Structure 1
Amino acid sequence: MGTEITLDVGSVSLTYSKNFCGIDHGSLFQEQDRKRVRGKQIDYDYFEETGKSPVAMEMALSRPLKDVVPRLQLLGFSLERVKREYERTAEAWREERRSLADDEQEPLPDLMSFDEFRQFVTRHPLRSLDETFVSGTGKANEASVRGRFNNEGITARLPRYSPFDFQAYSERTYFGELVNIMHPYSVMRLLAECKANEDDEVIWHYGPLVDAGWANESDFVPNARRTETFLVATEGSSDAHILKHAFGLLRPEIADFFRFIDVSESHPFPGTGNLLKFAEGLAKIDVHNQVVFLFDNDAEGFDAHRRLSNRLLPVNMRAIMLPELDRFRAFRARGPEGVSETDINRRAAAIECYLDLDAGGFPPAQVLWTNYKREVKAYQGSLEHKESYIKEFLRQTPDTLSAGSYDASKINTALDALVSECSSIAAATRNPTA
């Protein structure tokens, strides 16, 4: 009979292989997702009778669907991408049906729009579907398996629907057959749109395959693959340290997708001007890595970002600036005429300004105006005592954040902007026609 391996969501199989690993799904998981899972292929009576342990066969990579979604986004599976894929799938199905049609055949059904399909998927939470195994053949058994999906007036409007291709054994598995018509990650992304599915486990159960000798546990490696990661190039070494620590604290579920230039000794391209030259150089030599050039939200960063944005960067590269914030529109600043509150967006908001400037018991935060940038007709400013704010942030732990003693809202906003841009790159590079 062989040994099966599947990628399941709530007992619905999205991929299937027998006697070999099949599709590599490691990028959906992290090492902490390696755990024991009860499996349908495991004869628990045998283990109970012999006193042996089923641990090896129970090993799997398993993670709640809601925690897989951020990783799907960084793999390029946004809802917009899913919509385009569905529309291509529907059109391909129409073309196939037209090519097989004859003069006496009934008109083609009006296929669901993407919005209708999305509503169909989310209207039926997986846990609400009957998973009772129905054995035997015949119309009565097939009707029992179809359950609430017996109305062909609805199911016939689904791309790839066929009343004759029948593999399901329960209402839940039949629903899986109806909706599993695209890339499995696209289907998973749609299933996640149903809030009731969020806590369902995404399971890649490899234990039986390893136990049967068809694979080794070392074949099932979690974390983003190198080609799926993003190199974040920053203006200085402190930016890299801050962002790396921020991902570890605030976004550990996707931290493995982000790499930073090695600044353990010194930054190889320090300063705004050098980062701009580095970006221009990488673009010219057609580097295939996914790269984001991150500039500060100050006068120099704004100027460099504007200049780089005027160049046509490859699809795998983006230039972004730290986001402008309303909280920076009335910020203490010191210049020749004394201290006043002013807007420091595009003028003095380097990454240190996105830290908690009230933590650590330091004096009130303020920037110091330095030089005038003629290119953008604005003064450049710098946060005073910025090293102190950096050290305070690098001391933070998950415990201090959960205790509410540190305000990470601003740096969280910066991470939001970076993750959004990287998701956009992924959708463009790994799915160029999607």
Structure 2
Amino acid sequence: MGTEITLDVGGVAVTYSKNHRGIDHGSIFQEQDRKAIRSDQINYEWYEKNDENPESHEMAFTRRLRHVAPRLELLGFNLERVRREYGVIASEWKGEELYLHEGEERTPPIEPMSFIEFMNFAIAHPIGSLDDTFVSPSSGHESAAQIQVRFKGKGIERIPAYGLSPSPSFSEREFFMRLINILHPYSVLRVLAEAEANRDAAVVWQYGPLAEAGWAAEREFFPNARRTETFLIATEGSSDVHILRHALALLRPEVADFFRFIDVSESHPFSGTGSLVKFAEGLAKIDVHNQVLIVFDNDAEGLEAHQRLSTLMLPVNMRSVMLPQLEEFCSFPTQGPEGVHHTDINRRAAAIECYLDLNAGNHPPAKIRWTNYKKNLDTYQGALEFKEGYCKQFLKQTRDSLDRGTYDVRKIEAVLDYLIAECVAIAVDQFDPTDVEPLNLF
């Protein structure tokens, strides 16, 4: 008979394998997601009778869909990628429909659902609202038809591959999953995550039964982003590395393992904008396959370097960005030869320390001091006073101190959201529509 291993959401499988590990789903989980949960492949009566602990057979990774969704995005499965994948599937199905019914009088031919229609259908039926009562195929036509009654009049015949599955459905919930499970499993999860009612559904990859049966070794099941799925964040200086790494650990721990940084334990090997540009140029020339995000400060030197790098044709796995422009920087205290004025420091003087809480610590009111003139840009470069102190104050913060609300993280959160979005774009840009698995139409 063998042993199955599935990736489930809300108690229904989106993909499965038998007698081997199949797809490696470790990347959508973290170590804290590993736990023992009850399995329908375990004979609990035997364990109770023999006074044995079934925990090793029950081992699984489980995580709420709302916490899986950000990891799916960094793996390249955002809604834009899903839309493109669906377009390939729908176009293929339409072509096959025309071929299979060539010469028949069908006016007009069936048009597949648009992606928006498909997504709206998928999220209109939360998994938890669907009946998972088992219905045997031998129980009669009426019982089998009852599984589908909720979806009548919903245009399901326009869902690509509708009616082509050779296997019967055993519950309303399973029938629904068969309707929408025409994409990559992670694309299906990402679509389902758009429904608020689905976001607390458990995503489960239970490996215990398969490992205990000897079909796979337990060491094959480990969490966190794989090396090829991570992003190298290359910055101008050491303080950028320390701040971003600490910010991810505190504010985005659910995806922090996707990001790597240049080792600055002794010194920054590519310190400064000029060195960072040369580093990026070198990576592009050797066609490095790592996913790389080059990050410049939101100041004049960063702008000049970013413009220089933008003249290169970077590969799809590399991007160059500047720290985001913020409204808070449009009128910021600055010190120059003519005294103190409130000035827009975006693209002129906003290094990463400016995104920290500038009211934290025992410092005078935050202020930029203008330094050197950038002739190419016809503007001055500025620097935040006491920036080292602001950095040290942030690195002292803990999750408990942030929960007390005494430290303002809104600006640094804006940085994280921006950088994560750019990394998602890198992952999505590498999606090749020709890699979409063809539908099993026969």
TM-score under structure 2 normalisation?
0.95
Aligned to 2:72: 72
Distance 2:104 2:326 in 1: 64
List aligned pairs for 1:157-196, cutoff 5 A.
157-162=158-163, 165-196=166-197
* Counterpart AA for 1:50: N
Q: Secondary structure at the match of 1:7?
A: strand
Q: CA deviation at 1:430?
A: 4.2
Distance 2:43 2:147 in 1: 25
* Counterpart AA for 2:50: T
- 2:60 and 2:205 in contact (8 A); partners too: yes
Structure 1 runs (4+) deviating above 6 angstroms are none
List aligned pairs for 1:28-67, cutoff 5 A.
28-67=28-67
Aligned to 1:354: 355
Aligned to 1:20: 20
List aligned pairs for 1:404-415, cutoff 5 A.
404-415=405-416
Q: CA deviation at 1:127?
A: 0.4
Moved more, 271-280 or 98-107: 98-107
Aligned to 2:391: 390
Match among 141, 144, 154 for residue 142 of structure 1: 144
Q: CA deviation at 1:227?
A: 0.6
* Counterpart AA for 1:281: G
Aligned to 1:198: 199
- Count of residue pairs the alignment pairs up: 433
1:3 aligns with 2:6: no
Q: CA deviation at 1:105?
A: 5.8
Q: Secondary structure at the match of 1:288?
A: coil
1:208 aligns with 2:209: yes
* Counterpart AA for 2:160: P
Identity of aligned residues (%): 60
Distance 2:152 2:344 in 1: 62
* Counterpart AA for 2:298: N
Moved more, 424-433 or 316-325: 424-433
1:311 aligns with 2:312: yes
* Counterpart AA for 1:244: R
Q: 1:209 to 1:269 in 2, by over 3 A?
A: same
- 2:84 and 2:433 in contact (8 A); partners too: no
- 2:19 and 2:215 in contact (8 A); partners too: yes
- 2:88 and 2:433 in contact (8 A); partners too: no
List aligned pairs for 1:367-382, cutoff 5 A.
367-382=368-383
Q: CA deviation at 1:343?
A: 1.1
- 1:143 and 1:150 in contact (8 A); partners too: no
TM-score under structure 1 normalisation?
0.97
- 1:134 and 1:144 in contact (8 A); partners too: no
Distance 1:417 1:164 in 2: 42
Q: CA deviation at 1:48?
A: 2.4
Q: Secondary structure at the match of 1:245?
A: helix
Unpaired runs of 5+ residues, structure 2, are 437-442
CA deviation profile, 1:95-143 (whole Å, cap 9, x unmatched): 1222222423645422211111111001000000000111242312321
- 1:360 and 1:392 in contact (8 A); partners too: yes
- 1:76 and 1:431 in contact (8 A); partners too: no
- 1:33 and 1:61 in contact (8 A); partners too: yes
Q: 1:431 to 1:416 in 2, by over 3 A?
A: farther
Unpaired runs of 5+ residues, structure 1, are none
Aligned to 1:89: 89
Moved more, 56-65 or 161-170: 161-170
Q: CA deviation at 1:147?
A: 4.0
* Counterpart AA for 1:140: E
Aligned to 1:403: 404
CA deviation profile, 1:334-392 (whole Å, cap 9, x unmatched): 11222221111111100000000101132111111110001111100111111110100
1:262 aligns with 2:267: no
Distance 2:14 2:69 in 1: 15
* Counterpart AA for 1:27: S
Distance 2:87 2:389 in 1: 53
Q: CA deviation at 1:209?
A: 0.3
Distance 1:348 1:302 in 2: 10
Distance 1:293 1:304 in 2: 11
Distance 1:237 1:312 in 2: 27
Kindly report the root-mean-square deviation, in angstroms, between the aligned alpha carbons of the 2 structures: 1.4
* Counterpart AA for 1:321: M
Distance 2:64 2:374 in 1: 50
Q: 1:232 to 1:216 in 2, by over 3 A?
A: same
